[in-house]
Structure 1
Amino acid sequence: MVKTKLTANDLFDIHSVTAPVISPDGQRVAYITTTIDEKKNTYFSKLWVTQSNGAQKSVAWTTGEERISNVTWSPSGNHLSFLSTRNEKNQLFVLSAHGGEAQKITSLPFGVQSYEWDPSETKLWFTATYHEEHGWEDEKKDDKKDDFPKPYIAGKMKYIQDGNGLVKQDRFNQIGTVNIDTKEVSKWSDTSFSQHLHTISPDGKKFVVSEHPKEDDDVFENTLYLVDVDSKERQELTQENGSYYGARFSPDGNYIGFIGSHRTYENATHADLYVYAMEQQAVQNLTESVDAPVGDYVVADIQQGASAPSLVWTEENHVYFQVSTHGDVRIYMTTLEGEMYPVTQEGEHVYGYDVSKDGKHLVLTVSSPVSPGEVYTQTVATGERTPLSAHNAEFLSTKNIYTPEPIIFEGPNGWEVHGWIIRPEEAKNKKVPLVTNIHGGPHAFYANTFFHEMQLLANKGYGVLYINPRGSHSYSQEFVDAVRGDYGGNDYLDIMAAVDYALETYDWIDKERLGVTGGSYGGFMTNWIVGHTDRFKAAVTQRSISNWISFYGVSDIGFYFTEWQIQGDMNDVEKLWDHSPLKYASQVNTPLLILHGENDLRCPIEQAQQLYITLKRMGKETEFVRFPQADHNLSRTGLPNLRIERLHQITGWFEQYL
C-alpha cells in the first residue's frame, strides 16, 4: 500500500488507547479508546474488554456518546465500574462482567471525582464536590432574581483556575458512599474542609485520606492520614512536610505505598515511592537512590485521558511503578528490601499499566516515536509481549511516519543534553529548513513517544529538532532544578547548542532557514530567543509568557510560580523585568506569529496582547491569532476544530517565511 503524507486532519483518525486494567483472575483486560468526532467537534470514548492472552479480539462494551474514565474491576471481578459524562457530569456507572447494560449509580450535582470499591461489593466509596449549603442536592432557585448576574468576591489569591474559571468558594471535596442496589448516598466526611479518599484496606476497616485546608494560598503541601472507618480516629502517615498522593494498601493490608516529594526544590523536586509499615508505624523511601522522578511527565498530543496507577502491589508485596528516565517512561519493580530493576524496555513511553495479582504479567499501553499506542500483555520473567489491540493499525499502514534520531550533545558546564531530530524525505535531494520545537513546563519532557505535531512538520518538509534542555524531567535532580532562577540563561544556551550541533552534524539543513516554536514555557523561550538572536527566520509563540511583572498577578499560578521559578517577587520588579521577553522587544527582528487561547488562565491572553501591541507599534513583523473557548490545553485537549486551525497557523507561518 502506498503511504500518504500525514496531515493535520489525521488527528481524526488516531485512536487514543489508554487506561488498561486487568481482572482479578488475570483472564481479562479492560481499557478505553478515545477518538474525535469531527462533525460534533468533540471527543468520545469506548470501553473495551479482551482476553489477556490475546486469544480473542477486543469487544466494545459501551457505544454511547460519552467520555469514560476511572475503569475498575470489582474485587471479585463480577463487575466493571467507570465514570462517564453521558449525563454531562461525571457520574458513576456499574456494569456486570457477564454482560448487560451499565447502571447509573450516582446523580450528584457536581459529579464524582474518584471512587473505590468496598471489599463487600455492596457499595462504593467516592470523593465528590460538596456544597456547604446544599450538600449533594441540586441548588434550589426560589425566584427569577437568581438568574441575574452577581458579583464574585475573591477571598483568597487562588481564586481562578485554568480550565474551570472562578473557583467556587462555597464548595469543597467530601467522602461518601453509594449503595449499589438502592443507589442511596451517604456522607462519611464531617469536616468543613476538603478530604480525598485514596485507598481502602482489604478488610474495609481503614482508609487513607488526604486533607486540604480551605484557606490555602500559601499551602502547597498535604498530609496523608490513616483513618479508622467507624471511629474516624486517625494517625499521620507522612512524617515529612511535602506533597503526597496515590496511596494504595498492599494485598495483605500490612503496608501502604504512596508517591510524594518533600518540595526542597519546589515543583522541580523529584517524586519518590514511599512505603508505610503498619506494624512498625514507619515510612521508608524506596527510591531514594534513584536520581529520576517517579511518575510520567511526558509532553505529547495524542494520549487523551491517559491515566496510570501511582503504584501496583502484587501478592508477594512487590511494588510496580512508573519512572521517567532519560526520555523514556518505564515500569520498575521493587521489593520491600529495596531490590529494584526496570521490567520494561528502553525507547518507549509506557503511559498506562496494571499488574496481575501474582506478579507474573503486566498489561501495558505503550507508545513509541512511530506508534500512537496500543495495549500489550508482557510476561515479567521473559519480557515477551503479546499485542491485545490494533486500533491504530490502519492509520499506521496508510500514513508516512518518520523515525526520529536520538541525539546527545554538550551544553553549558559540559552537561549532556538529550533530544531528537527528524529528517524529512525532501532532504535526500536538497537542503531543507529546520524547525526547533520547545516543550512547556519547564518541568516536563519530550520522550520516545508519538507526537503528531512533530510528524506533521516533518511531513511538510521541515527538519524537526526537539530537545530536553535543563529544567526538563527524566534526568537528575540537579538537571531539573537548574532552570530555576536562570530562565533565559543556560536553558537558552542549551537550545542554541542543539541548533549548533544540528548544523555541524547534518549537511541537509539549510542554515539560512531556521524556525522556532514552543508553548507555555516553550512560548516564553521562543519570545526570549527572538529577542536575543536573529538567527531564526520565523517564529511561532504559543500560550506564552512575555512579562513576569503582570504574570505575577493575572495567572492562576502567577504569584507562587514566579517566586519558585524566577526566584523573585513584586519587591524585586527589576529582576522580573530582566527575565521578561517584553523588555527586549526592540531587539526582535524575526517575524513572529502569536497564538493564544482567550480562556487561558495559566498564561493569560494579556501576555500575548502586550507582546503583540508592543511589537506592532515598533513596526515589527507580527500577527496575533486568538482562539475562542480555548484554555491553556488547546494543543492537547482543546476543541478539535481549533486544534486543527492551530496546526494550520503554525505550518502556514513557516511556509510563508521559511
Structure 2
Amino acid sequence: MTTMSKQTDEVLDIFKQLNKIPSFVSARILSETNNKITIQSVWSQKNLERLVKQKFIQESTFDTNLQSLVQNFPIEITSELMSSISADEKLKAILREVTVNSKTKQFIEIWDKQHLMKSYDLSVYNIHEDIYNESTFCSFCFSLDNKQLLYIAEKKLPKQESYYQPKPESKTKTDKFENEKELCQGTKYIYRPDWGEQLIAKHRSIVVILNIKEDTLVPITSIPDEYFPAQVIWAPDNNSIVGVAYKLKPRYLGLYACTNRESYIFHLKGNDFRKLTTDGLSCTTPRFSPDGKYLIWLERDISPAHHHVHRLMYLQWNIVKSSNILVNLIKNYIVIDHYKNFYGLYNPSLPDRCWSNNSKHIFLSTPQRFNIKSYIINLETKNITEVDNFDNSSLSVIDVKNNFIAFINVSVIKPPQLIIAKFDNSLSNIGKLCFIDVTKIFNIPNIENFINEQTEAVYNTNEPVKNFNFTYFGTKKAQNQSTPLVVALHGGPHSSYCNTFHINYALMVCLGFGVLQINYRGSTGLGGDNIDYLLGKIGDMDVADCVKAVNLAVNKYPWIDPKKINLYGGSHGGFLCAHLSAKYPDKFRAVVMLNPVIDIAAMYSSTDIPDWCCAESGCSFVKNVSNEHENYNELLLKMLKHSPILHVDKVKAPTLIILGSKDLRVPPFQGKLWYNKLLSNNVHTKLFIYDDNHSLKKDEVEIDNIINSVLWLIEHNDK
C-alpha cells in the first residue's frame, strides 16, 4: 500500500468516527405533567453509506427537580420539513415532503397523541406553490383554539406558456376556455426575480390559513402587493396576525446572510394592514409575551455592512402603539450587571419562545467576541444579565417554557450538548443557573491531547479601532516546530468564529494540524464601530490582522512549524486566502479556497448582492443599486483596487479551489479565473466543481470536499 493510500485510509477512518456525532437541529420543552418534564430535541446525522443526513427526534424525561428519569430511543423523521405543536400540546402539525408516482409533493398532517387525524395533499387544493420552510421566511403555527394553522407559501401565479403550446385535440371548447383563462401566453420565459442565493424560486409569498375543522385553505389577500410577508404569528386576540413584511423593489437583492434589507413589523386585522415600524429599518422575528401584553422584535438600521449590530425593541400591545428600545445599538461595549462587558446583539433571530412565565424577562443569545453568550433582559428595568457559563464554551438559548430553559452548549473542541436549567428570579444573581445535562457529550478522538484557547490582539497605534481576536484549536504540547498550522478565515466579512464545533476543523486537528480561527477587524461580536471600520479597507486591514494573528500564534505556541503555515477559507475567507498567498508568497505552504471572491469588479455585474461589492470597496452606499451615485468607471476601478486578482502572479503555494456550479453569491467564474492564472504561472493547482450552491452543504458534496481539502493539506505538509 502506498503512503498516500495509508493517509487516505486514516482520513476516512477518523472522518467516519467524527460523523457518528449528531448535529443539533432544534429542541422544545413540553409542559409539566404528573411532576415530569419532557425535552424533545431534533438532531441530524450523516449516513455515509447512503450519503444522506438522517434526522431524528430524541425525547428525555426529567422530574421537576431536573433529575433524569427516562431517555427514549431516537425516532427517525427525515421526511419531515417542519413541525409545530399546539400551545396546549394536544395537536402536532407536520409538513412532510414525499414522492408519489414519481412526483414530489408536500403534505400537511395533523396528529393527536393517538393517531393521524388528517392529511392534506396540498397539490389537490391548487391554492399555492410549495410551503416555505427556510427560517428567513417560514411560519407554521396553530391558533390558540387549535382550529387553524398559519403558514407562508409561494404564491401561485397563472400558468406561463409560450405562444405556441401543443394541446390535446380531444379537449372540448368549454374545457379549453376554462384552462386558457388561467394561462399567460408568451410569458413562459419571462424573468421573475427571487431572493437569490439559497432562496431561489422565492418570488412572491402568500400567507395561508388552514382551517382544520372545515378542511379549507384560505389565502390572505389583504396584504398590499408591495410587500413580501414572512415570519407571521397569531396575535393574542387569535383573530389577527403579526409578521415581517419585506419591501419589494424593482430588483431583489440577495437576502441570505444579509440583514440590511428593508422590512417592517406589520399587524393585519381583517383588511386593516398597519406597519408598526418606520422606514429605514430591517426588522425580524416578532415574539409576543405569554400574557399577550408585549410584542418584541429585533431591528437594525439599513446601512452598508451586510450584517450588523441590532436593537431589541418592544411595545405594549393594544395600549401604546409607539415602540421602545430595550437594548440599543452598541458601538463598542457597555458594562452590564455584575460588571460584565456587553458588545451588542448580532443574532438576526430570537427563539420562538423566549419569555419567563411572568412576561418580565427575555432570554436570548448572541455572538460576543469569540463566543456565543446568553443573556436575561428585564423588561421593566432594562437590565441585562449575562448567564454564567461553567466553562469557556458557547451557550445558546433554544427554548423557554414555564421558566425552564433549554440551551445548547458547544465549543470547537466539544460537539453540541443539550442542557437545561430552571430560572429563579428571586436570586440575587439571576444569571447563575444550575445546568443539567439532557444529552451526553460526544468526545472527539484523543480530546485529552487538545486545547481550545482564545487570544486578544491589540495594535499599539492611534487607530480608533485596533483590537481583534483569534482562537487556537489543536495539540496542547509537542516538540518545537513539529505541528503544521491551518489558518481558518471566515466569510462575510461581517460574521465571526464563535467557538462552535466544525467537523472539518476537528478532522484537521485529529490528523495532527493546529487550527487558527481569526476574527479580524470587521467581524461581528466586537461592537458596531468594529464592523464599520473594515468598510473600504478589505484586502488591506483584514489581511494585516491575519498576518499579525499568525505571527502572534507562532510566538505563543512554539510547537507550530513556521514553515508549514496553510490557508483555508470560503467566500470572503477565500478572498483572504487569495490575498495572503499572493502578498506573502513565501509564508504559506498550501491553500484551500472555497468559492473565493477574486475580482470584485467582475463580480459586481453577476452576484445576487452587488451592493456588497460597493460597500466593502468603500464606494458610496446606495439602497437600490440601479441608482449608482458614482461614475461607473470609477466604481469598477475602486472595486478592482481591492481585488486579489491584481496580485495573482506572485502566488507560489499549491492551491486547491472548490466551487459550487450554482453559486449565486460568488459566481464560479471567480474561482476559475484564479485557477487559470495559476495554471498559466505553473503553480500547482487543482479545481473541484460541485453541483451545489455557495454553501457546499449538500450531503455528498460536503463529504467529498472536506476529505479532498484535508488530503491536499496532508500532501503538501508531509515533506
Given that 1:352 and 1:366 are in contact with CA atoms closer than 8 Å, whether structure 2 keeps it comes out as no
Aligned residue in 1 for 2:695:
633
Given that 1:352 and 1:365 are in contact with CA atoms closer than 8 Å, whether structure 2 keeps it comes out as yes
Given that 2:264 and 2:283 are in contact with CA atoms closer than 8 Å, whether structure 1 keeps it comes out as yes
Aligned-partner Cα distance in 1 for 2:475–2:230: 49
Aligned residue in 2 for 1:335:
378
Aligned residue in 2 for 1:385:
435
Aligned-partner Cα distance in 1 for 2:534–2:641: 15
Aligned-partner Cα distance in 2 for 1:184–1:134: 23
Structure 1 residues 115 and 423: alpha-carbon distance in aligned structure 2, compared to 1, 3 A threshold: closer
My pick for the range that moved more, 237-246 or 126-135, is 126-135
Aligned-partner Cα distance in 2 for 1:611–1:482: 28
Aligned residue in 2 for 1:33:
43
Determine whether 1:649 maps to 2:708. Answer: yes
- Measured against aligned partners, the alpha-carbon deviations of 1:435-493 in whole angstroms (never above 9, x if no partner) come to 11111111111122222222211122122211111111111111122221110111111
Aligned positions of 1:417-456 closer than 5 A: 417-424=468-475, 427-428=478-479, 431-456=482-507
Aligned residue in 2 for 1:94:
110
Shift of 1:578: 1.0
Structure 1 residues 295 and 25: alpha-carbon distance in aligned structure 2, compared to 1, 3 A threshold: farther
Aligned residue in 2 for 1:556:
608
Aligned residue among 561, 567, 579 for 1:510 = 561
Aligned-partner Cα distance in 2 for 1:79–1:61: 20
Aligned-partner Cα distance in 2 for 1:422–1:562: 32
Structure 1 residues 10 and 484: alpha-carbon distance in aligned structure 2, compared to 1, 3 A threshold: farther
Shift of 1:11: 4.6
Aligned-partner Cα distance in 2 for 1:439–1:399: 24
My pick for the range that moved more, 590-599 or 578-587, is 590-599
Shift of 1:524: 0.4
1:600 is matched by which residue type in structure 2? D
1:75 is matched by which residue type in structure 2? A
- Measured against aligned partners, the alpha-carbon deviations of 1:621-641 in whole angstroms (never above 9, x if no partner) come to 3222222x221111xx322x3
Structure 1 residues 242 and 90: alpha-carbon distance in aligned structure 2, compared to 1, 3 A threshold: farther
Aligned-partner Cα distance in 2 for 1:431–1:151: 62
Given that 1:349 and 1:449 are in contact with CA atoms closer than 8 Å, whether structure 2 keeps it comes out as yes
Aligned residue among 655, 659, 683 for 1:620 = 683
Shift of 1:31: 1.7
- Alignment partner of 2:131: what SS? coil
Shift of 1:562: 0.9
- Alignment partner of 1:153: what SS? coil
Aligned positions of 1:118-517 closer than 5 A: 118-133=143-158, 152-154=189-191, 158-159=193-194, 161-163=196-198, 165=200, 167=201, 171-191=203-223, 192=225, 193-217=227-251, 220-228=261-269, 231-278=270-317, 279-288=319-328, 290=330, 291=333, 292-296=343-347, 308-309=351-352, 311-312=354-355, 314-337=357-380, 338-345=382-389, 347-357=392-402, 359=403, 361-381=404-424, 382-390=432-440, 393=442, 396=444, 402-411=450-459, 413=463, 415-424=466-475, 427-428=478-479, 431-517=482-568
Shift of 1:652: 2.0
Given that 2:480 and 2:561 are in contact with CA atoms closer than 8 Å, whether structure 1 keeps it comes out as no
Aligned-partner Cα distance in 1 for 2:519–2:50: 36
Aligned residue in 2 for 1:21:
28
Structure 1 unmatched runs, 5+: 298-305
Aligned-partner Cα distance in 2 for 1:314–1:267: 35
Aligned-partner Cα distance in 1 for 2:119–2:42: 18
- Alignment partner of 2:672: what SS? helix
Aligned residue among 541, 544, 547 for 2:596 = 544
Given that 1:356 and 1:362 are in contact with CA atoms closer than 8 Å, whether structure 2 keeps it comes out as yes
Given that 1:225 and 1:237 are in contact with CA atoms closer than 8 Å, whether structure 2 keeps it comes out as yes
Structure 1 residues 143 and 576: alpha-carbon distance in aligned structure 2, compared to 1, 3 A threshold: farther
Shift of 1:80: 3.1
Shift of 1:620: 2.5
Aligned residue in 2 for 1:48:
58
Structure 1 residues 90 and 37: alpha-carbon distance in aligned structure 2, compared to 1, 3 A threshold: farther
Aligned-partner Cα distance in 2 for 1:364–1:82: 24
Shift of 1:508: 1.0
Given that 1:48 and 1:62 are in contact with CA atoms closer than 8 Å, whether structure 2 keeps it comes out as yes
Shift of 1:651: 1.9
Aligned-partner Cα distance in 1 for 2:362–2:350: 18
Given that 2:374 and 2:397 are in contact with CA atoms closer than 8 Å, whether structure 1 keeps it comes out as no
Structure 1 residues 498 and 430: alpha-carbon distance in aligned structure 2, compared to 1, 3 A threshold: closer
Aligned-partner Cα distance in 1 for 2:669–2:550: 31
- Alignment partner of 2:544: what SS? helix
- Alignment partner of 1:372: what SS? coil
Structure 1 residues 91 and 446: alpha-carbon distance in aligned structure 2, compared to 1, 3 A threshold: farther
Aligned-partner Cα distance in 2 for 1:589–1:428: 28
Give the structure-1-normalised TM-score.
0.87
Given that 2:480 and 2:560 are in contact with CA atoms closer than 8 Å, whether structure 1 keeps it comes out as no
Aligned residue among 593, 597, 600 for 2:656 = 593
Given that 2:595 and 2:671 are in contact with CA atoms closer than 8 Å, whether structure 1 keeps it comes out as yes
Aligned-partner Cα distance in 2 for 1:134–1:151: 8
Structure 1 residues 425 and 397: alpha-carbon distance in aligned structure 2, compared to 1, 3 A threshold: closer
- Measured against aligned partners, the alpha-carbon deviations of 1:186-214 in whole angstroms (never above 9, x if no partner) come to 11234545322522122313321332344
Structure 1 residues 505 and 429: alpha-carbon distance in aligned structure 2, compared to 1, 3 A threshold: closer
- Measured against aligned partners, the alpha-carbon deviations of 1:560-590 in whole angstroms (never above 9, x if no partner) come to 1112222337442211111111111112122
Aligned residue in 1 for 2:89:
77
Higher relative contact order structure (alpha carbons within 8 Å, sequence separation ≥ 6): 1
Shift of 1:356: 1.9
Number of residue-to-residue matches in the alignment: 623
- Measured against aligned partners, the alpha-carbon deviations of 1:482-510 in whole angstroms (never above 9, x if no partner) come to 22111011111110000110122221122
Shift of 1:181: 4.3
Given that 1:176 and 1:189 are in contact with CA atoms closer than 8 Å, whether structure 2 keeps it comes out as no
Given that 2:412 and 2:506 are in contact with CA atoms closer than 8 Å, whether structure 1 keeps it comes out as no
Shift of 1:296: 3.7
1:235 is matched by which residue type in structure 2? R
- Alignment partner of 1:238: what SS? coil
Structure 1 residues 201 and 375: alpha-carbon distance in aligned structure 2, compared to 1, 3 A threshold: same
My pick for the range that moved more, 374-383 or 116-125, is 374-383
Structure 1 residues 648 and 46: alpha-carbon distance in aligned structure 2, compared to 1, 3 A threshold: closer
Identity %: 18
Shift of 1:100: 3.7
Structure 1 residues 550 and 501: alpha-carbon distance in aligned structure 2, compared to 1, 3 A threshold: same
Given that 2:308 and 2:494 are in contact with CA atoms closer than 8 Å, whether structure 1 keeps it comes out as no
Given that 2:470 and 2:519 are in contact with CA atoms closer than 8 Å, whether structure 1 keeps it comes out as yes
Aligned-partner Cα distance in 1 for 2:640–2:612: 15
Given that 1:32 and 1:68 are in contact with CA atoms closer than 8 Å, whether structure 2 keeps it comes out as no
Given that 1:308 and 1:351 are in contact with CA atoms closer than 8 Å, whether structure 2 keeps it comes out as no
- Structure with higher Rg: it is 2
